Amino acid sequence: MESADVRSDEPDDSAMNSAVSTLEAELLANDVQAVPTSLDAFLAQVERRAFRLAEMSLGHREDAMDAVQDAMLRLVRNYRDKPAQEWTPLFWGILRRRIVDLQRRRKVRSIVVGWLGGGRDDDGDELPAWEPADNGPGPLDRLQDAQSYEDMAAAVRKLPRRQQEAFMLRVLEGLDVAETAQAMGCSEGSVKTHLSRAMHNLRDQLEDWR
Amino acid sequence: MNAPDNLERRARALYREASRQIDPATAGKLRAARREALAAAAAPAHARFARMLVPAGAFAAIAVAALMVFSPRDSVPLPPAGAAQTLEADGDLPPDLSNTDPSLMQNLDFYDWLATNDASQASR
């Protein structure tokens, strides 16, 4: 039985590795892409990644959609006349602030529900903090590497907020240190510190990824 | 950043793959959100102008009202009373046409004859 389990794991690992190597090649191709000259092209390029990033932070698809929509609107309304090279840190900075706003709003809602007596069940046991219902199809329904992605998203969600932001912008989105600092509204030194701690925590949590 | 290690590479690859694999409904919503954002920025050129007109109009109305309330109606500088008398007393100056009754200006020859006649009768 054990050997069967081991055998069944092996093809998944090899498939994963091949998927990763294929994607790495694509990433290299993406990295040398020219900066989009129109806002439409820029938003089309980042919208899906922005949604995934917001979803990873918020753990909720509708909230993630709201955050991305609002970030797009604010970028277009307030910064459309800025040079195209500045759109990337501006957009991710706006999205980061929207995510923080939504997290705070959710926390307040959770506290209010607690005050109104919704925090305990009939037996007096504490109910979990209020979370909005999410009935939409999750990323796992379609993703081949579903479990790995779920593990990573769960591990990232456990990080303190600033570490989360540094990891998502610097590692996942691939912004450079200066752009990450601009998007996070902090110094480049702080970005490096947050990222270093995030990587340390993630290595502890995702030991089997080594 | 140093060369990305396995965790970084794998995390990034999964993130990119997950972004590509977004379900059609969500992708459609994202496209609609993008179009809406771009349209909202393109359309409101006149809307923004109209929004600016409201405070501008209010400011103009307040300014007009303030002018009417504090209008310097009585503060138009009048010529000093003495100066007018001085001018009237000065017979050598030509008559002020703007302040004279126009009917008097029509029979100047008659007035001249009358004045001469009066003077000659007085001398007799």
CB spacing of B37 vs A72 below 8 angstroms: yes
Q: Do A145 and A128 have their domain in common?
A: no
- Do A72 and A123 lie in one domain? The reply is yes
Quote the CA–CA distance of A91 and A113 in Å, as a whole number.
33
Q: Provide, as residue numbers in chain A, all residues whose Cβ is less than 8 Å from the Cβ of B36.
A: 69, 73
Residue A19 lies in a domain: no
pLDDT of residue A135: 52
pLDDT, tens digit, for every residue of B91-124? 556 666 666 677 767 777 887 888 888 777 766 6
- At B3, the pLDDT band (50, 70, 90 cuts) reads low
Condensed to tens digits (0 to 9), the pLDDT of residues A76-92 reads 999 988 999 899 999 99
Interchain contact, B30 vs A48, CB within 8 Å? yes
Give the tens place of pLDDT for each residue, B57-89: 788 888 888 888 877 655 555 555 555 555 555
Would B96 be classed as within a structural domain? no
| Residue A57 domain-assigned (yes or no) | yes
> In this structure, is residue B37 part of a structural domain?
yes
Model pLDDT, residue B2 = 57
Same domain, A76 and A148: no
Comparing B3 with A161, which gets the higher pLDDT? A161
- The reply to whether A148 and A191 lie within a common domain is yes
Select from A164, A207, A161, A170 the least CA-distant residue to A188. Answer: A170
Domain membership of residue B123 (yes or no) is no
Residue B4 inside a domain? The answer is no
Interface with chain A: mutation pick from B6, B9, B17, B48, highest number of A CBs within 10 Å: B17
Residue A130 lies in a domain: yes
Residues A174 and A194 in one domain: yes
Exposed/middle/buried for residue A149 (C-beta within 10 Å: 0-12, 13-18, 19+): buried
- Closest chain A residue to the Cα of B28, Cα to Cα: A48
Distances (CA, A) of A105 to A71, A99, A127, A159, B18: 17, 10, 19, 19, 27
pLDDT of residue B56: 76
In a shared domain, residues A112 and A159: no
Q: Which domain holds residue A208?
A: 140-210
Q: How many domains does chain B have?
A: 1
Is B45 part of a structural domain of the chain?
A: yes
Residue A30 is assigned to a structural domain of this protein: no
CA of B64 to nearest chain A CA: how many angstroms apart? 34
- Nearest chain A alpha carbon to B48: A77
pLDDT band with cut points at 50, 70 and 90 for residue B43 = low
A64 and A105 fall within a common domain: yes
Cβ contact B40–A48 (<8 Å): no
CB contact under 8 A, B17 and A143: yes
Residue-number span of the structural domain to which B24 is assigned: 9-62
Residues A105 and A164 placed together within one structural domain of the fold: no
Mean pLDDT for B10-25 is 91
Domains of chain A: total: 2
A27 assigned to some structural domain: no
Whether residue A120 sits in one domain with residue A153:
no
A61-79 vs A39-58: helix axis angle to the nearest 10? 140
The answer to whether residue B46 is domain-embedded is yes
pLDDT digits (tens, 9 = 90+) for A88-106: 999 999 999 999 999 888 8
Q: Give the domain CATH number at A187.
A: 1.10.10.10
Note down pLDDT in tens along chain A; length 210 residues: 334 333 333 344 444 444 444 444 554 445 445 678 889 999 999 999 999 999 999 988 999 999 999 999 999 999 988 999 899 999 999 999 999 999 888 888 777 777 776 555 555 555 555 555 555 555 555 555 788 898 899 999 999 999 999 999 999 999 999 999 999 999 999 999 999 999 999 999 988 776
CA distance A149 to A178: 27
A128 shares a domain with A155:
no
- Residues A85, A58, single domain; the answer is yes
Are A96 and A63 in the same domain? yes
Question: Which residue in the set A30, A69, A77 is minimally distant from B41, CB to CB?
Answer: A77
The CA distance from A207 to B23, in Å, is 30
In a domain, residue B54? The reply is yes
Q: Is residue B52 part of a domain?
A: yes
